[in-house]
């Protein structure tokens, strides 16, 4: 009787699969953080453009210097925030690239074990097939030897 296939590295395969899932979740989190950084930077850039537009004064109107100074100070603060936002975005992009590489490594490690399992299953199936063929051959030889003309019932029983 053929034995059931048992992959000895099944627990390692499960571990690698779970590590791949963790890497996928990590990549999803880093992508979310990067998207948030992009959205924040876009908000800051829109605010800067709106502030620059608000600096203008109508023709022949008096220029409010205090308001102008406040707007300029705010623009300086916005420029710093935009620079910091760009730095955060670059860092987030680097973390995303790192998370992608980690996911790729985890996927390759998992896939390697899956392929090994498949090869071992194929080897086991082939060995089982050979064993069954050998058993069938043995049964055929035994049937031939004990055939209708060669069996104990066909022989004369001495009296």
pLDDT (tens digit per residue) in 87-123: 999 999 999 999 999 999 999 999 999 999 999 999 9
pLDDT per position as a tens digit, 122-133: 999 999 999 999
What pLDDT score does 50 carry?
93
CA distance 106 to 1: 38
The pLDDT assigned to 153 comes to 55
pLDDT value at 149 more than 70:
no
For 52-76, what is the mean pLDDT? 87
Contact 75, 48 (CB under 8 A): yes
Q: What is the pLDDT of residue 88?
A: 97
For the entire predicted model, the pTM comes to 0.73
Q: 10-112 has which CATH code?
A: 1.10.287.1700
């Amino acid at each position: 009787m053929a034995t059931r296939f048992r992959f000895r590295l099944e627990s390692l395969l499960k571990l690698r699969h779970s590590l791949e899932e963790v890497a996928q979740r990590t990549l999803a989190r880093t992508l979310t953080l990067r998207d948030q950084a992009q959205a924040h930077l876009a908000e800051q850039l829109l605010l800067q453009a709106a502030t620059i537009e608000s600096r203008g004064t109508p023709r022949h109107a008096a220029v409010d210097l205090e308001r102008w100074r406040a707007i300029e100070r705010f623009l300086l603060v916005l420029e710093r925030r935009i620079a910091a936002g760009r730095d955060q975005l670059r860092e987030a992009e680097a973390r995303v690239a790192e998370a992608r590489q980690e996911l790729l490594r985890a996927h390759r490690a998992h896939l390697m074990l899956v392929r090994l399992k498949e090869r071992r299953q194929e080897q086991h199936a082939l060995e089982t097939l050979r064993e069954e063929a050998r058993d069938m051959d043995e049964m055929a030889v035994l049937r031939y030897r004990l055939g209708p003309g060669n069996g104990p019932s066909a022989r004369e029983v001495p009296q």
